[in-house]
Amino acid sequence: MTAAAARPKLHNRGHSLRRFESAAIEPERSMGLRPDHPALHEARTIFPGSVLGTWDSPRFLVSGHNNPKLGKTVLKGPRAGWPIFHVTLEERATCPRSCPVWADCYGNAMPYARRHAVDEDFLPIFQAEVVTLARAHQDGLLVRLHALGDFFSPAYVALWARLIDTLPQLHVFGYTARREDGDDAESRETARAIRELTETNWEQFAIRFSRPEPGPQHSIVVDADPRRPDVIMCPAQTEQTTACATCGLCWAASARDKTVGFLRHGMKRATGPRSTKSERPVVAAPRPQRQVFTPTVVKPTAADRLAAVSEDDRRRIAAAYGAKFPEVRP
């Protein structure tokens, strides 16, 4: 059987698992930003035009169908059938400078990702959206934290602690570069809060610590498989499976004490050996479109989402999570 034939099907109940195919993983061509790049010193993305404020974003939680690494729906294990969503913040702006991939973040190769700025209205409106989405998926849903960015404060970790405590159907997984021996007190407190929450509730809050070295509950970025018994290379990157939706390794309790390894990827230099993998940007071929008039559809704004939360729900959410809802702006 060929490797292509052995790979899982990309379809689930008639719908493609993901809209786009992952780019080739070529660690030998991966490159970081030059040391004097302004984005490194200013702690920001190199694509500032992709950063939206709370009131400008149509939504915070995006289906994994739009992320080639995630997939639309979990297909394996006890969470099979759950929809997958992901949240994207601004890389570096929400990350500690001690992050092992501060200069060669894979966000450097993602000019079209919609990043969300953490402004004064972010937390309450984000919270309301998570609650609304979770209520619509009572059987369970999985959220990837964070496609880009990181936990930016102890208050943000506390928000997730309250959410998973109140919403048993809500489960999250992801990675953080925060360290308990970090340079500043807030970063240390954030890391400590994350660790404590994973210790008490790994089932709902499966967060691994991004480190330069292997260790229990760690993730590392490497140029090649270190072939160590305590390191499991990401099966999706090594083409043993398709995406997170068909894997489940990172949040599996049985692999919690192992290190998950990821091959270095992101912005690529023009020189060096190129992968022979066929790069098809679209997995599912588009259906033929008839030439018909289509009225312009205005996507809901953050103000629209907030306005849709009833007064009763506002009071309930505020009482449960301590949220303060801002005035709905025109």
Q: 167-181: b or e for each residue (b if 16 or more CB lie within 10 Å)? A: beebbbbbbbbbbee
Distances in Å between the alpha carbon of 158 and those of 142, 172, 183, 197, 211?
A: 18, 14, 21, 9, 23
Structure tokens at 277: 């993998």
Q: Strands 205-210, 218-222: parallel, antiparallel or unpaired by DSSP?
A: parallel
What does the pLDDT read at residue 329?
Answer: 52
From 50-64, 220-234, 236-250, 291-305, the region with the lowest mean pLDDT: 291-305
Q: Confirm if 272 and 243 have CB atoms less than 8 A apart.
A: no
Structure tokens at 99: 């992050």
What does the pLDDT read at residue 204?
Answer: 98
> How do residues 147-184 score in pLDDT, each as one tens digit?
999 999 999 999 999 999 999 999 999 999 999 999 89
> How do residues 283-320 score in pLDDT, each as one tens digit?
333 334 434 444 444 455 666 666 666 777 777 666 66
Structure tokens at 316: 């309930």
Distance, CA of 114 to chain centre: 12
From 119-128, 141-150, 269-278, the region with the lowest mean pLDDT: 269-278
From 9-18, 86-95, 110-119, the region with the lowest mean pLDDT: 9-18
Q: What ranges do the domains of the chain cover?
A: 15-207+297-321
